[in-house]
Homo-oligomer: A and B are copies of this chain.
Amino acid sequence: MNNSIYIVVPLVMGVLAVGFAGYLANFVLRKDTGTPAMQKVADAIFKGAMAFLNRQYRTIGILAVAAGIIVGGVLALLGQGDQAARISLAWHTTIAFWVGALCSAISGYIGMYVAVKSNSRTASAATRSLGEALMVSLRGGAVSGFLVVALSLLGVSIIFTLYGGLSNPALAPSLIVGFGFGASFVALFAQLGGGIYTKAADVGADLVGKVEAGIPEDDPRNPAVIADLVGDNVGDCAGRGADLFESTAAENIGAMILGVALYVATKNIGWILFPLVVRAFGLIASALGLLYIRPSRVVEPDKAAGRDPGEIAMNQLNIGYFITCGVSIIGVFLASYLLLTGINARLFPSWVWFGLAGLTGILLSIAFVYITQYYTAGTWRPVREIAAATLTGPATTIITGVAVGFECTALPVLAISAALGLSYFLGSQVNLGTHGVISVGGIFGTAVATMGMLMSTAYILAMDTFGPITDNAGGITEMGGGAESVRDITDALDGVGNTTKALTKGYGIGSAALAAFLLFSAYLDVLYTLEHNNAAVYRVDLADLPVFIAALIGITLIFFFSALAIRAVGAAAKRMIEEVRRQFRENPKIMAENPADRVEPDYARCVDISTRGALRAMILPGVVAVATPIAVGIILGPQAEAGLLMVGTMGGIVMATFLNNGGGAWDNAKKYIEAGYLRVNKEGEMVDRLDTSGTVLGKKSDAHKAGVVGDTVGDPFKDTAGPSLHVLIKLLSTITLVLAPLYVYVNTIFPHP
């Protein structure tokens, strides 16, 4: 049985997906770019974003070249096996590292290029109809989504093929782990830099503009407004794109490594190619979901009998997502049927069990969508609770938000635990034996579930990038002096964008959690092939003191890294606040009463301050993230490294959930107040938002000011530290996979207890 031919599927689908992204880009770029006033704003955003990205990638590029050489050198000198084997591993890894880094950078770059070209087009489309605005913004976002997934898929497939994967399938996966490490490396700095940039600008713009000067969001008088709009792009588009690029790459490679053991048992290469084929099918599913959404299906506000346009748009996106999930379910069963053969199972053929495991992963992704909405949408208890707390000032707003954020870790973890347990159980029904206490079928079941969950990545990323595009479109409409009705449409889409951004983060952390166990097992597999103490290698025993200490350090790393990321924002934001205050002080004409007397503030200087601040600030957390696992692996040994990896990952999952959802809830509590939903009775207690006997406390009320403080605190949580933790936990995996030979080498020289 030779399933090698199936490598064609990811290669062809990858190329087609790149073509599809080109088609979407062409569709968007052909649209008109709005009035000259709009174009002027859009142009400033474009220049700021590109200037940042150029400088950022230059810095990252230097770091990546150096890191690739160091990794290669370490593996050549201190790796395992004879000299030829060491040098082969070294150069394969270094090249793969660079290719991974490059693909990640390219997908981030092009995706953002199209995104910042889509914003004025969306603003212009919004002058015509909701349906067209939705379509332009979503397709603009989809360029990034499809490019990211396609490049990650093509990259892994091509490197695997070139490295002799088809002729020597057992060896190739461990040669390509460098690709995942390269992707993680770039993603870490891209997410950190983008996240710091966006929040420094946002915090600065909000605190001085909205709170102190009392001007609305996106007001052209605010010197930081362009930097803020640029930030939405570099943080959300480029950062999240790099994040999901590495997710798909790292988890894909991890699953392939697990497949090696099954290939050895069955001589069926299908077990190794399975992740690639499933993801190729996922691209088809995502494309179908995306193509479903067209203006003709959207009920325009004037015909909607008062229905909220945001609700109408969200509904369309949801239908598209369910179509993607439905097609994905067919795809995962089909791929299992085609590829996962050659082994007996209980009751049913093995493909049924693994298909069900894939279904589990897809269901988990849907569960995360609902859980995230519960904790971050204004219609439910958590956000209302924070809104009520704003009545007693900023302190209770923060206290309540932290409580909500801590609380909301429970449901996702229970969902992940259930999905992990179930997919493991389903996989273990296939007779594949055990490694230590690990059921080989069970662990492959969790890998299939992860792959199932990741099938919709392109669609999810399209929804995510849709967020900053609509956010920018709103800003451009406001600053370009668009009509009220147009602003209503962009506001509605912006609100939807906030929800979809939160969903993407939930999705990212859910898939990372599901993948944690498989990546960790892949690491143990790698240790096993390195012949490190094979009797005990499949054991990560917390009763072993070095493992215990490494685990404790793993959790602490999560806290420490979050501190560095948040502090970076605080520092950069402080400089921004000082600059905005300085401009208002030294140039009072910016705020002149009569619009005719006003002068334009110095936007470029604010953009520049954010850029420099972000690039400087991303270095320290990045270096800590890379250095800690290496130090632990060297000092405490390979098994302890597994402890750091696992417990660090657990801590990262929980902490990121706290940061993301807490921040999202504060944001939406503020929006709840701005929407006029906060009503109080005459004792000052909150009443139902529809209770017309209550007094509305809207913008500029003390409650709103407290809400803005909460939102501002949440900004670096949800847009800098939280997303950076996503990247960190996958970086921990790829770094351990790549450097496993080093840890084993040191352990051979100085055996650990």
Using CB atoms and an 8 Å cutoff, list the residues of chain A in contact with chain B: 203, 207, 211, 388-389, 392-396, 398-400, 402-407, 409-410, 413-414, 416-417, 420-421, 424, 436-438, 442, 517, 520-521, 524, 538-546, 548-549, 551-553, 555-556, 559-560, 562-564, 566-567, 569-570, 573-574, 577-578, 581, 642-643, 646-647, 650-651, 653-654, 658, 683-685, 708-709, 712-713, 716
Is the beta-carbon distance between A570 and B424 smaller than 8 angstroms? Answer: no
* B residues near A570, Cβ cutoff 8 Å: 389, 396, 399-400, 403
Sampled A-B contacts (18; CB under 8 Å): A203-B399, A207-B392, A207-B395, A389-B574, A392-B578, A394-B709, A399-B713, A399-B716, A402-B566, A403-B570, A406-B562, A406-B566, A413-B556, A421-B549, A437-B541, A517-B548, A538-B543, A651-B651
Q: Do A553 and B207 have beta carbons less than 8 Å apart?
A: no
B residues within 8 A CB of A651? 555, 651, 654
Report how far A654 CA is from B543 CA in the complex, Å: 19
Q: With contacts A420-B545, A538-B543 known, what are 11 further pairs, Cβ within 8 A?
A: A396-B573, A402-B713, A406-B566, A417-B549, A539-B539, A540-B542, A541-B542, A543-B642, A551-B647, A551-B650, A709-B709
User: Do B538 and A540 touch (CB < 8 A)?
Assistant: no
Contact of A555 among B399, B555, B564, B684 (CB under 8 A): B555
Residues of B within 8 A of A517 (CB): 545, 548
A542 to chain B, nearest CB (A): 4
Contact A420 B540, CB 8 Å, known A392-B207, A562-B406, A654-B555? no
Task: Give chain B nearest CB distance to A252 CB in angstroms.
Answer: 22
Residues of B within 8 A of A207 (CB): 392-393, 395-396
- Which residue from B539, B549, B564, B646 sits with its C-beta under 8 Å from A407? B564
Q: Is A436 a contact of B541 with CB atoms below 8 Å?
A: yes
- Give A442 Cβ to nearest chain B Cβ, in Å: 7
Q: How far is the CA of A581 from the CA of B442 in the complex (A)?
A: 60
Nearest-CB residue, chain B, relative to A389: B570
- A interface: dominant SS: helix
Residues of chain B within 8 A of A417, CB atoms compared: 549, 552-553
Tally of this chain's copies: 2
Contact assessment for A549 and B437 in the assembled complex, using a CB-CB cutoff below 8 Å? no
Do residues B544 and A395 form an inter-chain contact, with CB atoms below 8 A?
A: no
From A539, which residue of chain B is reached at the shortest CB distance? Answer: B541
**Could you tell me the distance between the alpha carbons of A406 and B569 in the complex, rounded to whole angstroms?**
14
Q: Is the CB of A399 within 8 A of B684?
A: no
Chain B residues within an 8 Å CB radius of A414: 553
Establish whether residues A392 and B556, one from each chain, have CB atoms under 8 Å apart when the complex forms: no
Known A541-B540, A542-B643, A647-B650; judge A560-B421 contact (CB<8 A).
no
Chain B residues contacting A569 (CB-CB under 8 Å) are 399
What CA separation (Å) do A520 and B524 show in the bound complex? 25
Q: In the complex, how many angstroms separate the beta carbon of A509 from the nearest chain B beta carbon? A: 13
- State the Cβ distance, A175 to closest chain B Cβ, in Å: 25
- Across the interface, which residues of B come within 8 angstroms of A574, CB to CB? 388-389, 392, 396
How many Å lie between the Cα of A376 and that of B716 in the bound state?
Answer: 23
Q: Which of B388, B424, B542, B683 is within 8 Å of A545, CB to CB? A: B424
- Shortest beta-carbon distance from A512 to chain B in Å: 13
In the complex, A436 Cα to B539 Cα: how many Å?
Answer: 12
| Complex contacts, A562 vs chain B, CB 8 Å | 403, 406
Q: Judging by beta carbons under 8 Å apart, are A406 and B560 in contact?
A: yes
Cβ of A566 to closest chain B Cβ, rounded Å: 4
- Residues in chain B near residue A404, CB distance under 8 A: 563
Minimum CB–CB distance for A336 against chain B, Å: 21
User: Would you give the shortest CB distance from A581 to chain B, in whole angstroms?
Assistant: 7
Cβ-defined contact, B563 with A406, below 8 A: yes
Query: Which residue of B396, B581, B658 contacts A203 across the interface (Cβ within 8 Å)?
Result: B396
Residues in B whose Cβ lies below 8 Å from that of A642: 542-543
Give every chain B residue within 8 A of A437 (Cβ-Cβ). 541, 543-544
A625 CB → nearest B CB, Å: 13
Chain B residues lying within 8 Å of A442, measured Cβ to Cβ, are 545
Contacting A563 at CB < 8 Å: which of B393, B403, B546, B560? B403
Closest B residue by C-beta to A647:
B647
- Measured between beta carbons, the chain B residues less than 8 angstroms from A406 are 559-560, 562-563, 566
A578 to B682, CA, bound (A): 12
Contact (Cβ within 8 A) A567 B421? no
Measured CB to CB, the closest approach of chain B to A753, in angstroms, equals 8
> Which chain B residue shows the least CB distance to A408?
B563
A287 to B259, CA, bound (A): 65
Q: What 8 pairs across the A-B complex have the smallest Cβ distances?
A: A406-B563, A407-B563, A395-B712, A403-B567, A540-B542, A403-B566, A413-B556, A409-B559
Chain B contacts for A524, CB-based, 8 A: 543
Residues of B within 8 A of A421 (CB): 545-546, 549
